[in-house]
Each structure stands twice: as structure tokens, then as C-alpha cells.
Structure 1
Amino acid sequence: MPPRARWLRSAGLIASSAGLVAAALPAPAPLGIGDPLFPHLGNPGYDVLAYTLDVAYPGVNTKPLSAVTRIDALVTDDLERINLDFTHGEVSAVTVDGRPAAYASSGEDLVITPAAPVEAGEPVRITVTHTSDPSGPADTGGWVRTGDGLAMANQADAAHRVFPSNDHPADKAYFTFRITVPDGLTAVANGLPAGRVRHGSTTTWTYRTRHPMATELAQISIGRSTVVHRAGPHGLPLRDVVPTADRELLEPWLRRTPAHMEWMERQVGPYPFETYGVLVADATTGFELETQTLSLFERRLFADRALPEWYVDSIMVHELAHQWFGNSVSPRSWSDLWLNEGHASWYEALYADETAGRSLERRMRAAYAASDGWRAAGGPPAAPEPPSPDHKISLFRPVVYDGSSLVLYALRQEIGADAFQRLERAWVARYRNGNAATADFVALAGRTAGRDLTGFFRGWLYGEKTPPMPGHPDWRSNPPRDAGSAPERG
């Protein structure tokens, strides 16, 4: 039976004096792809290929932006409905392949009923006209209100507070941004510039990514900003986005990025994207964030003279390292977060050791002493406990930072520094522009070392207690007491 005929039968169409009338579908309901930490995040039945996000900023960062989000996707299952993740905005129209579609909200899903079902193997274009509301508590994520405009902080599950999407890192896609702002403001987004057009008293800025990106890594900056350009290794275009008033204040930090990039390339190989830069926001978030090609930093990180120079330097390297670990190679589920944060913390610590004499071994020994407490408070590195429902950022606990870089230190101790570096370079090359899971890392580590490491990783990644440290039988982990707080980084 052809797919269309199957649908007609399952929909229960019946003849009546009014013509053909479809039996009612079940009430709209939120779906998910079964992520163990965010069960309603993401949606089954389609693969997003590209997003085009048009937003118009009204000039005040407390008022909703008007927006149109276009999603080009490939349908993977026959669908009578299409669920998108979306909340904190008002929808005024939806079309599917140019035809008006019915829609309803259920939980944090926008549930769309096309005029006709979509079939597996077909491309589909979904267009949603909506608002995007920057109001609300800062710690919920999505839009971040700055001193002169807006930025975005979507990790882990807040992109759908800004635009309708399949908001899970397992479904990466290409992005085009068209951002319309009043005169006097600058708009920047992920990727490279693709045009700028004036319309009376407003300007539309366009940007496109050249590599697929997870929704949680999307970035739009709107403000009274200056874009600072310079060249990185191999002529890589670097661009920093800073408050215009702070241009000179920040230059001593901005000019460090080329050396950071050269150092990271010596560790793991070529930078994976088309550009990179630092976005400095006049906002208090409590974290820095590795948004793809344009990492978000709080202004106070650079302006606070009480912070040691080596510390600020190493945090810049932490976010840069994420471009390889977390951005280019994205987690398959949020339980794989340790692969992002453990690696970024590892290179942060290694950089501080090599350039500022901040002992890596001393830091790892301190992490080992705290490790059992961290595991008791938040679960082991590869099986973290779910975040608090009303404070999703609580997922970012010490166990996923230094508690996970400790796993990498133990691995290097176990297989040797040469094999460890080969593994790191192979990891980012093999899974570039894609997704990978903990099991993939374990398997690649075993192949690189030439022996089965599943037993080693079982204790280090899933054990309630921290295993003995190879090469350091005298190291001890303290009994669980104070689990500490998460470091100020993303």
C-alpha cells in the first residue's frame, strides 16, 4: 500500500454530507529523542539540514523581537505531525512547504499539523513566524540582556527559548542569520559575514556558517560594538566583538588569541572552523561559553584586575579548546558532556602548566582528592545525575570539569603521553563536524593503545569511587563532604 494510502486509512477518513472529514488526531503532546538528562529535548522523525533565522531587534532589550525561522529538513519517518522545541515566544503563523499548517503548544513543544502528512525520504520546509522574548530570569538561558543590547547563551537546553528548533546537539545543521537592528548598533553571529543592507533607519546583517552547528552553540550579538579583525595561523580570519567603549582596554587580551590558536593546533591539529573570535558582553552570567566560532565572555573576566593573568589566559584557552571538543565533535547525548568539559579543562590546565608554571600534576592531585565528593554529589563523569528542573545549569558541576580532566590524566598515565596525543588528534579528525559518544572514545582509545581499555574506563567513567591513579599509588580521595561549586567557565 502506498504511504499516502496508509495514512488515509490510519487517519480514519469517513464520508459524510459535508464531504470527507478526518477523525481527530490525539491531543498534541511534547516528544523527545530519549536523552537521559533531557527526555523531552529534540524530536523524532526528521533531520534538520539548515536553519534560516530572521530577527528584527526593536532597539530595547526588554521587548520581544519579531522573527521568522525557516527549517529545511529531511523527513525520516512518516509524520502526521511535526514537533519542534519552542517556548517563550508567540507564534502567529506556520507553513509547511508553503501551505498553512495548524499548530498548538504542548509543554515546551510547538506541535504542527501539516495540511497533508509528510513521508519518509521527503525534504520539508517549515516556516514559523513568531516573536522571541528576551525577558525572564537570566539563569534560564537563551537571550542574555547586556548593557547595550543582547547576546545568546543557549547551553544546554535553551536555544528553543529563542527560536523554534530541534534543540539537541545530536541534530546539527547549517545556519543563516539575518539580523535587523536600528542605526548605531552592530549585529554579529556565528560564521562569516554574507552581506549588509540598509533600509532607512535600520540595517540587516547576514551571516552564514560553513560547518554544521548544534543549536546550543548559536550566537547573535547586538550592541554598540566594534568588530576587531586580525589574522591567525595560516591566515585564519579572527574577529573579536567588543563594546566600543572598551576597545583599548581589551586589546591586550584580544591579541593573545593567535598564540592560543597556535598552541592548540600543536596539541590536536588544525582549527576546525572558518573563523574564531572573542565576544565580550557587558553582562553577568556566571560563566563563559564556547558558542561556535565566537566564544562568549563576561566583560568582568578581563576588567577585574584581581584575577591573575595566567588564570584569564587559561580560561580563554578553555573556550578555544571547545571549538574542537564539543563544537566540531559534539556529544551524541548530554550524558557525554564529560567529553566536552573534561577536554577543555584538560587543555586549560596543560596550557597553564606549560606557559605559567601552574603545575598540572598538583592540580590533578587536588582534583583526585576531591573526586569522590564530586561523584557523590553529581554522579560519575559519564553518568551524571540530571540537573535540577528549575536550574538546568546545575548540570555543569565540578565532576564534569576537573573531575573529567582527571580521567584524561589517568588515561595518559595508563597509555603514555605519545599514545595519548595520537588519540586526541585522531578523535577530532575522525569525528569532525559530527557527533560522538563515550563508547566511541573508549573504542578509539583501545585501538590507539593496542589493547582493550574497557575495564580501565568502566571505573574511571562510571564508578561510584575514584579508581587508583596509575603511577601515583599514594594519591588519596577524601571522604565526600563539600562537593564544591562549578568553575566559572563553559
Structure 2
Amino acid sequence: MPLTPRNPSPRARWLRSAVLVAASAGLVAAALPAPTPLGIGDPLFPHLGNPGYDVLSYDIDLTYQGENTEPLAAVTRIEALATADLERINLDFTHGKVTSVTVGGEPATFETSGEDLVITPVRAVEDGEALNIAVTHTSDPRGAADSGGWVRTGDGLAMANQADAAHRVFPSNDHPADKAHFTFRITAPSALTAVANGLPTGRTENGATTTWTYRTSHPMATELAQVSIGRTTVVHRTGPHGLPVRDVVRTADKDLMEPWLKRTPGHLEWMERQVGPYPFETYGVLVADAETGFELETQTLSLFERRLFTETGFPEWYVDSVMVHELAHHWFGNSVSPRTWSDLWLNEGHASWYEALYAEETAKQSLERRMKAAYGASDGWRAAGGPPAAPKPPAPGRKISLFRPVVYDGSALVLYALRQEIGKDAFQRLERRWVSEHKDSTATTADFTALASEVAGRDLTSFFAGWLHAEKTPPMPGHPDWRSLPAGEARSAAKPG
């Protein structure tokens, strides 16, 4: 709901009047320094996110003409709350053309700097003031496939925005520290189907086109946004406690995918037994006819490559456990999001942990054997990518390189060590409290280690210092015979997702 601006103080009224007079005289641009890209200080992505405001909601209109090689027409409306006095407002945005911007309904000037859209409103914004921004722009699906953002599929489009590519699709405060509610309004040729995060709230036929509206019930990080447009069918079923489950597949693949898709209610039940109730309003699987090289936990509608389900080289237990991996992210990473990207191990370590635990319980794939192999590779992984909670920055021009083995099985290994250290009962209490107490919010490594100490009833600072931050892997509790192998002898089985 839009916030009502408070009554401005006499000083604020004077300042705004002065700015307006200066603007009419053409003096504001001269008074302000040249625009620069800003950031919130993330150690891995220094220019990601923007200071000075908290986004409450995004309302995104997209118009798709039917060709995934042409830019979409778009309008992004942002409701936010200023957390500082702002003469300018920076949004993350690139790979699209902006034609107009309004702030509070009034036209604003704008220019680009780096990957920021820098907006100068006609009136300065005060700390605590409601901020309503509308940007008319294009959203271009063309570009390097490994840069993220839109994914061109065999019959349309999908999104893969992790870690920093949502702003290749729509203007935003593109950092998981600033979660918000989303509404998507997608207009496409009527022969196609459009699906997005959350639940449908409307569908309007306009002759040759149809407009589909979806809204999230819970806040979401920008990197988890998902819009699918294509010749697809939405398959509905029911999950635990009446949860609506919807899967999105190519219409031609509906019967082919059904043996896999019908497993989702069982996956949900299994995860709920581990950590408690599913945290969102719906869940489902989006099977995209595209080769991304990864699967992705986009909120309420996880993205999967079609080939995961059709290639004969993947064992059945492996595909099944990968589906659980992306589902587990809805507790770890989606509901409880990382405060900074250095906290990524909390996302991927937990998803890999439950993937491995599920494979052990349902397919007799030994968790201990997998963790012993990870221990053998751990020193090499740490040397290549940094310790789990202090990862090295991604390689220049290859942002996805952040998703290294150390944040997958290398971080699941930390959780295995923690369970060995505090016992299974305490570990399960910790996991349940973590997702319950931080639901719909963000949290840090420090938050997790503090809660672990509280649950264990003793200070675990030294334990976590070694397991999360040291260059060498500490001895494994309960397994003093385990050894880490030289980097060249360690084999990685990790995957993005």
C-alpha cells in the first residue's frame, strides 16, 4: 500500500521551493556533481544495490510481441521509502532504453552511469518520505547468454537473474538485502501462456493479445524474479495442507514430464518433515526448453533445463535430488535471504545438504561417503575459491563463477561438521528455528553462528572460525582419520543452482 508522505517541515518546504526555482533557472544540474554508479558496499558486488531508500513493491508491466529477439515494452513502478535525504535516486538498470521517468507523478531528468540509472527529481526527497517512481523502458532479451537476465527458450522467454542480472530486465534495487513485493502484468499474443512468481490475480482477453497478472504474497529478492512466456501448459495439483502446486511445461511435453512433476508433493512433504511448513503461497517447476547449464530456485516457480529430465545420462536418484535442492532453497535463500553475497554459503550449503540427505534416505546414496569425498577436496576448493563464508570475488566478466564447489558441497560439509559437533537433535532444532525466526527477511553468517551457539548451549565461535573462514579445513569431529587431498587430486562434483 502506498505510504502517505508526512507534512514537510518549514525547512523542507523552503528547500523544495529553492530547488524548484533553481530548476526553472537551469541551475540544479550545474550544482550537482556528475552522476556516478553507487552501491551498498557488498564486498563481492560493490556497485550492486543503492543506498538511501527501501523498496516496498515493484509493479512491472511487460509487453511481448511474440518474437524473443525483439525488446519488450515495459513500465516499472516502484514504491519505496526514503531512508536518507536524496537529491538523486540511483536504480540498477542496464541493457534497455529508458524513454521517461516520473517521481511522485512529476517528470524527472535521468541519465546513465555505469549500470545505474541516475534520476534527478524536480524536488529533493526527504528522509522518511514515500517515494513513487515510474520508469518507461524497454527490456531486451538479446545479449550474452551467460550474462543472465532473460533466457531465450525454444518457444519464448524465461528469467535467470542470479546473482546480479535482474537489472538487465527491469530497473531495481538489485540486491537481496532489499526484498519487496512484486506484481507482474504481462501482455502477450493470446496463443501463448504467461506465468510469473506468486499467484494469478487476473487475466484479460484483448482480442489478439491477453494480459496476465500475478502477485506475490511474500517479499522477494530481485534475483528470484521469474516470468515465463511461451507455448506452455500449466499443470495444477495439490501439495501438503492444500498448497496450490503448478508446473509450467511445453504443451508438447506435458505427458513426457508428468512422471517427474508428480513427485513435487512428495518432495514438499519430505522438506516439511525436516524444517517445518513450506514458506510461500504456491510452488511449482518451470521446465524451460533452453540450455542454461544450471537450475535456479526462482521464488515459487523453480527453473529447470528440459534436458535434465530427458537426457538418459542422469541417474533417476540424481534428478530427484536436484529437484529437492531447488525446493530446499525456498526455505534457505528465498524465505531467508542472504544479507550480503558473502553469505551465499547459507543458501547453497543448505540446499546441497538437503539434496544429499534426501538422496541417502530415498536412494541409499551415502551421505557420509559424499561428505568424506567433499572433505578430501575441501582444501583445494578453499584455495581456488576462498573459505565458505569469505569467498573470492567472481572472475571478471564471469559473474556466475561465484558459484564454485566450495559454496555447494564445501559448505554442506560445514553443516555436516556442525551436526557432528552438536548432535542431530540440536542441529534439527537449529534448522527449524533458523527458517522460522528469519522468515521473509534477510540474515547473515553472524546471525547463524549466534543462533547455533544459543541452541547448542555453548560458544561455537572457535568452531565456526575454522570451518567458515580458515584457509585449511579443520579436523572433522568424529572422523579424525579423514584427510584433505592436494588440489590436483580432488574431484569436484558441484553444480550451479
- What's the TM-score once normalised by structure 2's chain length? 0.96
Deviation at 1:388, TM superposition (A): 1.3
Once residues 339 and 391 of structure 1 are traced to their aligned partners in structure 2, the CA distance between those partners, rounded to angstroms, is: 22
Q: Which residue is equivalent to 1:292? A: 299
Deviation at 1:479, TM superposition (A): 1.8
Asked whether 1:276 is paired with 2:283, we answer: yes
Asked whether 1:392 is paired with 2:399, we answer: yes
Deviation at 1:10, TM superposition (A): 9.8
The structure-2 alpha-carbon separation of the partners of 1:482 and 1:114, relative to structure 1 and needing over 3 Å to count, comes to farther
Deviation at 1:306, TM superposition (A): 1.9
Q: Output the amino acid matched with 1:26.
A: P
Q: Which of residues 246, 263, 270 in structure 2 aligns to 1:263?
A: 270
Asked whether 1:307 is paired with 2:314, we answer: yes
The structure-2 alpha-carbon separation of the partners of 1:361 and 1:120, relative to structure 1 and needing over 3 Å to count, comes to same
Asked whether 1:363 is paired with 2:366, we answer: no
Q: Which residue is equivalent to 2:12? A: 4
Deviation at 1:4, TM superposition (A): 2.2
Q: For 1:165, what is the secondary structure of its paired residue? A: coil
Q: Which residue is equivalent to 1:217? A: 224
Once residues 493 and 340 of structure 2 are traced to their aligned partners in structure 1, the CA distance between those partners, rounded to angstroms, is: 21
Q: Which residue is equivalent to 1:36? A: 43
Q: Which residue is equivalent to 1:142? A: 149
Q: Which residue is equivalent to 2:347? A: 340
Once residues 3 and 394 of structure 1 are traced to their aligned partners in structure 2, the CA distance between those partners, rounded to angstroms, is: 49
Is contact 1:154–1:217 with CA below 8 Å preserved after alignment?
yes
Q: For 2:31, what is the secondary structure of its paired residue? A: coil
Q: Which residue is equivalent to 1:330? A: 337
The structure-2 alpha-carbon separation of the partners of 1:187 and 1:8, relative to structure 1 and needing over 3 Å to count, comes to closer
Is contact 1:329–1:436 with CA below 8 Å preserved after alignment?
yes
Q: Which residue is equivalent to 1:242? A: 249
Deviation at 1:315, TM superposition (A): 0.1
Asked whether 1:45 is paired with 2:52, we answer: yes
Is contact 1:55–1:67 with CA below 8 Å preserved after alignment?
yes
Q: Which of residues 348, 368, 378 in structure 1 aligns to 2:385?
A: 378
Is contact 1:377–1:483 with CA below 8 Å preserved after alignment?
no
Once residues 158 and 482 of structure 1 are traced to their aligned partners in structure 2, the CA distance between those partners, rounded to angstroms, is: 35
Deviation at 1:226, TM superposition (A): 0.3
Q: Output the amino acid matched with 1:48.
A: V
Q: Which residue is equivalent to 2:202? A: 195
Asked whether 1:432 is paired with 2:439, we answer: yes
Deviation at 1:70, TM superposition (A): 0.2
* Aligned length, in residue pairs: 488
Q: Which residue is equivalent to 2:422? A: 415
Q: Output the amino acid matched with 2:38.
A: L
Q: Which residue is equivalent to 2:75? A: 68
Q: Which residue is equivalent to 1:446? A: 453
Is contact 1:3–1:119 with CA below 8 Å preserved after alignment?
no
Q: Which residue is equivalent to 1:254? A: 261
The structure-2 alpha-carbon separation of the partners of 1:423 and 1:106, relative to structure 1 and needing over 3 Å to count, comes to same
Once residues 19 and 301 of structure 1 are traced to their aligned partners in structure 2, the CA distance between those partners, rounded to angstroms, is: 61
Once residues 266 and 98 of structure 2 are traced to their aligned partners in structure 1, the CA distance between those partners, rounded to angstroms, is: 46
Runs of 5+ consecutive residues of structure 1 not aligned to the other structure? none
Deviation at 1:199, TM superposition (A): 1.0
Correspondence 1:397-408 to 2 at 5 A: 397-408=404-415
The structure-2 alpha-carbon separation of the partners of 1:338 and 1:2, relative to structure 1 and needing over 3 Å to count, comes to farther
Q: For 2:254, what is the secondary structure of its paired residue? A: helix
Deviation at 1:164, TM superposition (A): 0.1
Deviation at 1:39, TM superposition (A): 0.2
The structure-2 alpha-carbon separation of the partners of 1:105 and 1:119, relative to structure 1 and needing over 3 Å to count, comes to same
Deviation at 1:485, TM superposition (A): 5.5
The structure-2 alpha-carbon separation of the partners of 1:6 and 1:430, relative to structure 1 and needing over 3 Å to count, comes to farther
Q: For 1:227, what is the secondary structure of its paired residue? A: strand
Q: Which of residues 341, 344, 356 in structure 2 aligns to 1:349?
A: 356
Asked whether 1:226 is paired with 2:233, we answer: yes
Once residues 486 and 34 of structure 1 are traced to their aligned partners in structure 2, the CA distance between those partners, rounded to angstroms, is: 32
Q: Which residue is equivalent to 1:174? A: 181
Q: Which residue is equivalent to 2:5? A: none
Deviations 1:96-119 (A, max 9, x none): 010000000000000000010111
Deviations 1:92-146 (A, max 9, x none): 0000010000000000000000010111111111000000000011100000000
Is contact 1:11–1:25 with CA below 8 Å preserved after alignment?
no
The structure-2 alpha-carbon separation of the partners of 1:473 and 1:60, relative to structure 1 and needing over 3 Å to count, comes to same
Deviation at 1:487, TM superposition (A): 2.9
Deviations 1:161-203 (A, max 9, x none): 0000000000000000000000210000000000000112000
The percent of aligned pairs where both chains have the same amino acid is 76
Q: Which residue is equivalent to 2:483? A: 476
The structure-2 alpha-carbon separation of the partners of 1:13 and 1:166, relative to structure 1 and needing over 3 Å to count, comes to same
Deviations 1:47-66 (A, max 9, x none): 00000000000100011000
Q: Output the amino acid matched with 1:177.
A: F
Q: For 1:251, what is the secondary structure of its paired residue? A: helix
Is contact 1:368–1:475 with CA below 8 Å preserved after alignment?
yes
Is contact 1:84–1:111 with CA below 8 Å preserved after alignment?
yes
Deviation at 1:24, TM superposition (A): 2.6
